[in-house]
Structure formats: C-alpha cells, structure tokens
Amino acid sequence: MKNHGRWYLFFFLTPILLWLFLMILLPHMDLLIMSFRAEDDFGEMVWSFANYLNFFEEPIYWATFARTALYSILVTVLTFIIALPVSFYITHVVAPKFSGFLMLLLLLPFWVSELVRVYGWMILLRESGVINHFLVQMGILDKPVEMLYNDATMILGLVYTSMLFMVVPLISVLESLDKSLIEAAYDLGANMWTILVRIIIPHSMPGIVSGSIVVFMLTLGNYLTPNLMGGKNSLWFTEQIYNQFIASFNWNQGSAFGFLLLILSSLIIWAGLKLTGQKLSKVVK
Amino acid sequence: MFTLSPDKNMQTDLSVQNVTKKFEEFTAVDSVSFDVEQGRFFSILGPSGCGKTTLLRMIAGFTEPTDGIISIRGENMAGVVPNKRPVNLIFQHLALFPMMNVAENIAFGLQRQKVGRADIQKKTETILERVGLPGFAHKKIDQLSGGQKQRVAIARCLVLEPTVLLLDEPLGALDLKLRDQMKVELKKLQAKVGTTFVYITHDQSEALVMSDYVAVMNKGRFEQVDTPQNLYSNPSTPFTAQFVGDNNAWSGRLTGLSGNMATVVTPEGNSFTINTHGKTFAPDAGVDLFLRPEAMLIQPDPSMDQLNRFEVVVKAILFDGANSRLLATPLNSEKELIIGLPQNRQFDHIRPSDRIEIGWHGDSGICFPGKEGRS
C-alpha cells in the first residue's frame, strides 16, 4: 500500500519536476554562468564580475533600475487603491446575482491579448485619437494634445493591465468578511475611515499582500506596456535587458541584468512581507 | 398601545410609537408601539420571520422605519446614524473583531469616543472583571470558548454605558447546557449593571426566564406584552397560548353558557365546562380550547367532582425526566394530546395502549372564540 502511494506520487510529480528543472532551473543556471563571463583584453571568455560592475558604473543602468522599482511600487499602490473599492462593491454592496456579472465584466478585457489592449489605449489617447477628437470638437482644447509617451500614461497602462490580479485575491478575502463586523464597528461608534483601517484592511491583509506581490512582479517584468505607452524618457529596466540581448547581442550583460532584476524583486517582496508582518506561506495559500 | 405598570418615577429609556417597516409590498413590522422603562429586561419573542430582527435593527439605526417614531430617553432618533445613537447591539454571531485581542475589542468603542489611554485600560479591566473574565485582556478571540466570546461581546457594549443594550438572539449558537447557564448569568449581569436590555429571541424559555416583560410578536405585530407569568397563565390571543409554553389546542362548539362557565362539545363528543374569563361568545359559536399538559390530571380522584373527565388511549410515553409526557388520543379520535406525567412513581404502571381517565378543571383551560363553521 505504501509503495503504491509512493509510485503515484512520483507519477504525478514527474511532469512538474521535469518542467521546473528543464524550463526554469537549467536555463537560469546557464544564464547565471553567462552573467559571470566576459571577454578579456584578448577577446577570450573568462570568469569576471565585469557585467555587474558595468551596471554600477553606468548611471543610466542603475537609474533605470531604481526608476523601474519605484514606479512598480507606485503602480502596485495605485492598483490597490482602485481595486479595493471595486472589490468591496462587488462582494458587499451589489446584489449577489450581479456580482458574478460584474466579475465577468472585469475579466472580459483580459480575454484579448495585452498588445491589443495597449493599442486600444493608444487609439484613445494619441494626438489624433478619440479623446482628443472629442475635446477639440467640444471646444475644450484648441488643438490636439499628445497624451501618449509620458510617465503618467505608462502608469495608467500598467495599472489597467494589473487590475484583475489585485481584484481577484481581494474579492476572495472580502467574501469571507462578515458584514456584521462592519455593522458592529459602526454600532460601536466607528466612522467609515476607521472601519476601513481597523476592520476591512486588517481582514484583507493576506489578499492585499498576495495581490500586491503578483501585481508588483508583473509590473516589474512588464515589457510591452512601458515600451509602447512610455515615451523616450520612460525607460523600463526590461527594455535594458532586451537591448542587451537583442540590440547589442551581449548575452552576458543581459543575463547579469536579468539576475539583478530577480534579486531586486525578491528583496522588495521580502521587505514588503516584513513591513506588513505577513508570512509568505500564509499569503500563497 | 400597550402600557405597562404606569410607574411615574421610572424614566422611559426606549419609546417606540406606531413603528412600521415596509419592504416594497411586504410589511415586516406593522405599527408596533411599546415603552421600556429604565433598567428593565424587555424581550421580544416571536417565531423566525415575525419581524423582530427588523424592529431591533430599526432601534439600532441600521434601518429607518417607514413610519412611526423611535425615541431614546425622549430624544427622537429619526435620521440619527448607528454610530451616533446611545444604543449598542450584540449581534447574533457576536461579531467580535478577530483581528484584535479581547482588550482591543473592548477598547474599540472607547477609542471612538476619544477616551484617554489610561482610562481605557482602567475601564477595560473593570468591565472584564464584571463579566467574569479577569486576566483575559490579551487573549485572542479564537482562543475563547463560546461562553467567553459571549461575555466579551457583552463587555464590549456595556463598557460604552449605552442607554439601551440590544441583544439579537446572542445565545442561539451555544449548546443547551451553556445556554441555560448563560441565561441565568445574563439575568444576573443585567440586574447588577442596571442597563436597559431589549432582547429578541425565538426561544420562549430564554424570554420567560430572563425578562421583566415579554412582547409576543407575530407577523409584524405585537400579540401581547406582559410579564412572563401572565403570558403563560393568561394568554390574550390563541397565538400566544400556543407559542408560549406547550399547549393542546382543541376546537369545539358552544352549547350552553351560564355565567362565566361555558359548556363546549368537542367533535369527539366530549362535553366540557370551561371558564370563559369574561370573554363573550355568540350562541352556538366555535370555540378553541387550550389545555396545558400539566393542567390535565391522570386518573384523578373520584371525589374531585368539578373536573371535566374523559378517557384516552395512551399512544406513547415520552420520558424526559421532570418534563415527561404522555402522548394520548381521546376515544374514537385521531387527535393527539400531550399530558404531563409527574415523575413521582405514581403512574409507573401506565403502558402504551392502556385506557386511562383524564380530568381537568374548568378554570385551568383557556378558550377563545374559534372560527365559524368549524364543528
């Protein structure tokens, strides 16, 4: 009986173990090795820290790096601020029969690819776009304004892309929030702000943290939206990695950047968990 | 309008005047009026769906009445939101905040009133002692037992010294033994703190044991407001007679009336004499009889000549300690009666399908005019 159980375990574990090893671990090990190798003065490949040193010596690299990190945190916070009322509305305000419908409405845009969604925004926002057209028609603007290609638009696009990944975990925690807790707090003299800070947010903490981790990682690793909606000055660190791999054909530099990004995201998530007093094992549940 | 003991010295804490609540075409609460004096334990007893929770939520301020006035210590509460009312509500499932410990739960309301930190600590300790939980301040909510949670919920409200404490079936989730224990404790606590309690429940024993006054509610209306003793011995409506305590309902037809004593013939052919307690009946009217199980005596002594006597066949013996009953049917009838079976060993010989004589005194039954045309 016991041998049987073990056999089943191996049978079902094998695909995931193979996948983890072949698709994740092996390539990353190769990249890691690559990141520590560079050409010496004679054009030979040798072990070296040159790729990592490059990063610290060139201001454009670490400036982009810091910008990407800060903007990702900003996007995560903005997404949370927008997603919390939306999730609360769906779970506790609207009639239960509509909440499924509203969920579907949230889900619907994600049935199209991110590329199409970003182009949708571009059609709306560009100089000859829909919004400009109406503003000029109504006489609010004299001539069309370029709304694309700046940081604000890029953040708008990133928040929009991330919404669902914050709303879904928030809905699942808010569903378990007993309405009578809110009423009890109200009855005991609390106002809306106190209820939000003392009852709703502490209750939702696991969902907030898991949603924030997902949104943060997706934003940090996003390539498409910053590239299409951000301007020339809105550099994203993924673009630096892309440039190294594709434009400069410098795979060693690219993999070093890749690992720096991995370390950065791990550090920020670790700090976030410490700051909110949550445990990863609890959050991923 | 029900008026209770018109004691001029007592302040009225809660006054409800003609309060009605309609949800579209459904009337949940239908023109209910009552006053509760300071320090009273007032219960609203009714079956589920009778509108008692809606009434309580209107007093707490979570729903606005469609019509009528709710005032607390003479102040009209119309438009006053729950966090500004001098009442607190203990929820059915207590609604303790699981993200806070016991002390933080109790301090929550005090913090909203901007009470100083030192005062909060002092008040929290005092109230915990009062509800019998000293030293529990730093326990987490999920470490508490059902009865302890109950006490924390009560402490959390009482610490705010509300004018009226509202309780929404808070004992419902407890097991029977604990519920009986909490009933007594709650009553004692109320007497100690002297706060006005308005308690709603569907459990008649909770209402009868704890209350000074009980309102029996049915279909959005108050059937009767009275002391527990009066409700039991003097129900003013058939609903109260059946809802409060066990009762055997029996319909019959009036065949004679002399003074207060009416003669009623049941469909089974039994003829009973019963005190009408001043109720008026039309000749040949339908009559609904209500007989308490303990009003029916098993094999009464032949010398007691004022009893209504009839024979029954025992169907089953429902042994339940001091609360044991006989399930029996009158001869030639399918009607089931529940008869009190005193556990003094006198009736140990009774077996199912025995034929025994039952007697009851005409003063111990209650009768109401029944529906016309029923025979």
Token output for B234: 């003097």
Residues contacting A75, CB < 8 A, separation 6+: A155, A158, A159, A162, A215, A216, A219
Domain ranges of chain A: 48-105+151-283
Token output for B7: 């004691």
Condensed to tens digits (0 to 9), the pLDDT of residues B140-183 reads: 999 999 889 999 999 999 999 999 999 999 888 788 888 888 89
Quick one: pLDDT band at residue B251, thresholds 50, 70, 90? confident
Average pLDDT (B324-330) is 91
Strands B41-45 and A45-47, bridge-based pairing: unpaired
Quick one: pLDDT band at residue B375, thresholds 50, 70, 90? very low
Average pLDDT (A81-85) is 96
Condensed to tens digits (0 to 9), the pLDDT of residues B94-139 reads: 999 999 999 999 999 999 999 999 999 999 999 999 888 998 999 9
Q: What is the pLDDT of residue B159?
A: 93
Quick one: pLDDT band at residue B2, thresholds 50, 70, 90? low
Condensed to tens digits (0 to 9), the pLDDT of residues B184-208 reads: 989 999 998 899 999 999 998 899 9
Of A189, A191, A199, the CB nearest to B113: A189
Contacts of B95 in chain A (CB under 8 A): 178, 180-181, 183-184
Average pLDDT (A251-256) is 90
Please determine, for residue B8, whether its predicted confidence score (pLDDT) is greater than 90.
no
Condensed to tens digits (0 to 9), the pLDDT of residues B59-99 reads: 999 999 999 999 999 899 998 999 999 999 999 899 999 99
Q: Which of A111-120, A226-235, B2-11 has the lowest mean pLDDT?
A: B2-11
Q: Does residue A40 or residue A89 have the better pLDDT?
A: A89
Q: What is the pLDDT of residue A2?
A: 56
Q: Does residue A231 or residue B77 have the better pLDDT?
A: B77
Average pLDDT, chain B: 89
User: How many CA atoms lie less than 13 Å away from B23 in the CB half-sphere?
Assistant: 8
Of B83, B84, B95, the CB nearest to A181: B95
Average pLDDT (A69-80) is 95
Condensed to tens digits (0 to 9), the pLDDT of residues B220-240 reads: 999 999 999 999 988 999 999
Q: How far apart are CA A152 and CA B104, in angstroms?
A: 42
Which of A98-112, A186-200, B269-283 shows the highest mean pLDDT?
A186-200
Please determine, for residue A233, whether its predicted confidence score (pLDDT) is greater than 80.
no
Domain ranges of chain B: 12-239, 248-369
Dihedral sign of CA atoms A174, A179, A180, A186 in order: positive
Contacts of B109 in chain A (CB under 8 A): 188-189
Right CATH for B248-369 from 3.30.950.10, 2.40.50.140, 3.60.10.10, 3.40.50.1780? 2.40.50.140
Long-range interactions of B108-111: CB distance < 8 A, separation 24+: B108/A185, B108/A188, B108/A190, B108/A198, B108/B156, B109/A188, B109/A189, B109/B156, B109/B157, B109/B159, B109/B160, B110/B159, B110/B160
- How many residue contacts between A and B have a Cβ separation below 8 Å? 60
Q: Which of B330, B334, B349, B344 is nearest to B291 (CA)?
A: B330
Which of A182, A183, A187, A194 would you mutate first to test chain B, the one with the most B CBs within 10 A?
A187
The alpha-carbon gap from A279 to the nearest alpha carbon of chain B, in Å, equals 16
Q: What is the pLDDT of residue B157?
A: 94
Average pLDDT (B36-55) is 93
Right CATH for B12-239 from 3.40.50.300, 2.40.50.100, 3.60.40.10, 3.40.190.10? 3.40.50.300
Contact (Cβ atoms closer than 8 angstroms) between residue B286 and residue B370? yes
Q: What is the pLDDT of residue B373?
A: 44
Q: What is the pLDDT of residue A88?
A: 94
Superfamily of domain A48-105+151-283: MetI-like (1.10.3720.10)
The CA-CA-CA angle for residues A8, A12, A17, to 5°, reads 130
Please determine, for residue B371, whether its predicted confidence score (pLDDT) is greater than 90.
no
The CA-CA-CA angle for residues B290, B295, B301, to 5°, reads 135
Average pLDDT (B260-266) is 88
Give yes or no for B95 touching A (CB within 8 A).
yes
Give yes or no for B113 touching A (CB within 8 A).
yes
